[in-house]
């Protein structure tokens, strides 16, 4: 393809009619200015649908995490009745960790597909597999029926579930971030994690109510199946909501641009076009940074959600009911506060809020576990609240900070790799590691030291995180909430430090005019 207009004209400046007039690719214009037509004005009804459609998937995912985490001590005798309690618990926690082994593969495949065919299609697929595998957990025969194969089937189903969830959170954060206006991205993206912890609390509450109503013996006999079987109808409702959402406008614009370029020019993101290997090669720094931040946040998050019921039951002498129910009010309050910290990050920036999460973990971890160690209900609730405090600042902002590390054409794939490898290594293994540290040392404070270590590393990584609050996503045009805001943005673009025109995918395909003499002015094709 020609690189300038002169190739279509003769030496005397008259258009050469022997050459076909076609769109040509001009070099990037250094003085390109933002016009109102370049700005994406968010469709508010579609934004609401997008948020609702993505929240249901995260809620479903964490509903299962909550149910499984709170049934660890109940399911142990079902699948390994001949082993002692420690072996049973380690097996169930190891099975929980095995779920995360499959997540990186799911993140790679679904992330690549999400950047290739669209976010909405992939997110519908991941939700379908996730709901079906959770439902299947409730149908697995116990050891009494098929022996050790029961444990094998449990691990297999959890691996399938992990494969599907590998594409869920990365896709959901990508999707909502691309839908939200730039100045409120932190607030809207934080609803994903609010839904996550509401789902977790709902699963925990259901298990607690069943324990209270039918007792431990009935729970071990058949009751443990009910929460998993409920995932069937709940999943159908969630899929209905997800199928009503449309593709994100930012990705659709990128897809349209790539389709146009494919007619005569190379793809906008050549490395991303090569798949996961190309993304790793092009964005390895961003991936490493994202992995460190995800590790710091998720070790605290999974310690609170998936390990704490086991810790309270086995290390602190609470029965299964109280070990479960004590965490529920803390999770609900934390879920309600998550959008507040998301909004705070829109005002003061992602980095200060993430630093609050990291530093407060280092400062509060030891007091939290000391309070839990007192053994009274009031001290346990206060200790759990101290663990929940940094989680609130962490998770609400990763949902908006991490997608901003990658350009639109590679965002789902980059997030799929970074988030899922980190969660597999540090998140899902947290309950197993904490239990193992206590068993190895006999020191109930080991979880506090582990959380302090991961957050100290995370605090250092935040220094290298580029502030993204209020700014367009890389590879995307600005997104605003109204036409008035679009006009204000364009009018004040020269003095706006949040606008980097070099990062924006201006359409630079031009078509020469066909009338008149001499070299015509290029006409922008949109």
Residue 201 CA to residue 330 CA, distance in Å, equals 9
What is the predicted pLDDT for the residue at 156? 93
Q: Which of 11, 38, 164, 27 is nearest to 102 (CA)?
A: 164
Q: Which of 106, 99, 98, 104 is nearest to 163 (CA)?
A: 106
- The pLDDT profile of the chain, 526 residues, written as one tens digit per residue, is 333 333 333 333 333 434 333 333 334 445 577 888 888 888 888 888 888 888 888 888 888 877 887 788 788 889 988 887 778 888 887 887 778 888 889 888 888 888 887 777 888 888 889 889 999 999 999 988 999 999 999 999 999 988 988 888 888 888 888 889 999 999 999 998 898 889 888 888 898 889 889 888 898 889 999 999 998 888 888 888 787 777 666 666 665 555 554 443 344 455 555 578 888 888 999 999 999 999 999 999 988 887 887 788 877 777 767 777 888 899 899 999 999 999 999 999 999 999 999 999 999 999 999 998 887 889 999 999 999 999 999 988 998 999 999 988 888 889 889 998 998 888 777 878 888 888 888 888 899 999 999 999 999 999 999 999 989 988 888 888 888 988 988 888 888 888 887 777 765 543 333 333 333 333 333 3
Q: What is the DSSP letter of 9?
A: B
What is the predicted pLDDT for the residue at 70? 77
Residue 480 CA to residue 487 CA, distance in Å, equals 10
| Structure tokens belonging to residue 463 | 């220094």
Is the Cβ–Cβ distance between 84 and 426 less than 8 Å?
A: no
Residue 216 CA to residue 74 CA, distance in Å, equals 8
Cα atoms found within 13 Å of the Cα of residue 386, Cβ hemisphere only: 21
Q: Which of 166, 192, 203 is nearest to 395 (CA)?
A: 192
Is the Cβ–Cβ distance between 201 and 66 less than 8 Å?
A: yes
Is the Cβ–Cβ distance between 310 and 93 less than 8 Å?
A: yes
Write the DSSP assignment of 469-503 as a string of letters.
Answer: TTSPPTTS--EESSHHHHHHHHHTGGG-TT--GGG
Beta strands across the sheet bearing 523-524: 24-25, 509-511, 523-524
Q: Which of 344, 362, 361, 455 is nearest to 401 (CA)?
A: 344
Residue 507, C-beta contacts closer than 8 angstroms, at least 6 positions apart: 257, 260, 524, 525, 526
The alpha-helical segments, DSSP class H, found in 349-376 are 350-374
What is the predicted pLDDT for the residue at 6? 35
Write the DSSP assignment of 132-185 as a string of letters.
Answer: HHHHHHTT---HHHHTTHHHHHHHHHHHHHHHHHTTHHHHHHHHHHHHS-GGGH
What is the predicted pLDDT for the residue at 58? 82
Residue 397 CA to residue 357 CA, distance in Å, equals 10
Residue 156 CA to residue 142 CA, distance in Å, equals 14
Is the Cβ–Cβ distance between 123 and 57 less than 8 Å?
A: yes
Residue 417 CA to residue 107 CA, distance in Å, equals 6
CA distances from 105 to 167, 271, 278, 297, 411 (A): 9, 20, 16, 21, 17
User: Quick one: 46 exposed, middle or buried, by C-beta within 10 A (0-12, 13-18, 19+)?
Assistant: middle
Residue 240 CA to residue 94 CA, distance in Å, equals 33
86-125: buried (b, 16+ CB within 10 Å) or exposed (e) per residue? eebbbbbbebbbbbbbbbbbbbbbbbbbbbbebbbebbbb
Cα atoms found within 13 Å of the Cα of residue 50, Cβ hemisphere only: 25
Q: What is the DSSP letter of 38?
A: G
The hierarchical CATH code for the domain 37-246+274-480 is 1.20.1250.20
Is the Cβ–Cβ distance between 457 and 298 less than 8 Å?
A: no
- For residue 197, how many other CB atoms are within 10 A of its CB? 29
User: Quick one: 80 exposed, middle or buried, by C-beta within 10 A (0-12, 13-18, 19+)?
Assistant: buried
């Amino acid at each position: 393809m020609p690189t300038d207009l002169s190739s279509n004209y003769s030496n005397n400046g008259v258009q050469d009619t022997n050459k076909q007039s076609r769109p040509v690719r001009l070099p990037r214009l250094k003085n390109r200015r933002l016009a109102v037509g370049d700005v994406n004005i968010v469709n508010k009804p579609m934004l609401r649908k997008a948020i609702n459609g993505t929240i249901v998937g995260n809620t479903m995912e964490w509903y299962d995490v909550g149910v499984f985490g709170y049934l660890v001590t109940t399911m142990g005798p079902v699948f390994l009745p001949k082993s002692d309690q420690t072996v049973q618990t380690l097996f169930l926690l190891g099975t929980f960790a095995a779920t995360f082994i499959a997540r990186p593969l799911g993140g790679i495949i679904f992330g690549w597909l999400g950047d290739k065919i669209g976010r909405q299609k992939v997110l519908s697929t991941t939700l379908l597999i996730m709901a079906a595998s959770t439902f299947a957990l409730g149908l697995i025969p116990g050891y009494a029926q098929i022996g050790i194969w029961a444990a094998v089937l449990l691990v297999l189903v959890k691996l399938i579930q992990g494969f599907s969830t590998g594409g869920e959170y990365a896709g959901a954060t990508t999707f909502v971030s691309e839908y939200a206006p730039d100045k409120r991205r932190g607030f809207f993206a934080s609803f994903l994690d609010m839904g996550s912890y509401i789902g977790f609390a709902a699963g925990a509450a259901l298990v607690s109510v069943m324990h209270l109503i039918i007792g431990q013996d009935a729970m071990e006999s058949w009751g443990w199946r009910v929460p998993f079987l409920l995932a069937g109808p709940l999943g159908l409702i969630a899929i209905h909501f997800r199928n009503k959402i449309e593709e994100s406008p930012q990705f659709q614009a990128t897809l349209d641009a790539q389709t146009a370029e494919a007619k005569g020019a190379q793809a906008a993101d050549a490395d991303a076009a090569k798949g996961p290997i190309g993304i790793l090669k092009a964005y390895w720094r961003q991936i490493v940074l994202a992995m460190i931040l995800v590790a710091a946040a998720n070790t605290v998050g999974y310690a609170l959600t998936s390990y704490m019921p086991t810790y309270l039951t086995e290390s602190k002498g609470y029965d299964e009911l109280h070990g479960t129910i004590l965490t529920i009010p803390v999770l609900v309050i934390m879920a309600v506060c998550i959008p507040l910290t998301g909004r705070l990050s829109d005002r003061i920036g992602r980095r200060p809020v993430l630093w609050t999460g990291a530093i407060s973990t280092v400062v509060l971890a030891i007091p939290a576990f000391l309070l839990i160690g007192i053994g009274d209900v009031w001290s346990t609730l206060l200790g759990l609240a101290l663990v929940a405090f940094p989680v609130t600042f962490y998770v609400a902002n990763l949902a908006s900070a991490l997608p901003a590390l990658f350009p639109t054409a590679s965002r789902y794939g980059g997030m799929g790799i970074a988030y899922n490898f980190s969660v597999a290594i540090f998140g899902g293994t947290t309950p197993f590691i904490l239990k193992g540290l206590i068993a190895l040392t006999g020191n109930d404070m080991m979880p506090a030291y582990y959380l302090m270590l991961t957050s100290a590393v995370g605090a250092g990584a935040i220094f290298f995180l580029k502030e993204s609050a209020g700014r367009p996503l890389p590879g995307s045009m600005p997104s605003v909430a109204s036409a008035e805001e679009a006009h204000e943005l364009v009018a004040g673009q020269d003095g706006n430090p949040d606008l980097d025109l070099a990062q924006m995918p201006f359409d630079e395909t031009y078509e020469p005019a066909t009338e008149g003499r001499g070299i015509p002015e290029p006409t922008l094709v949109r």
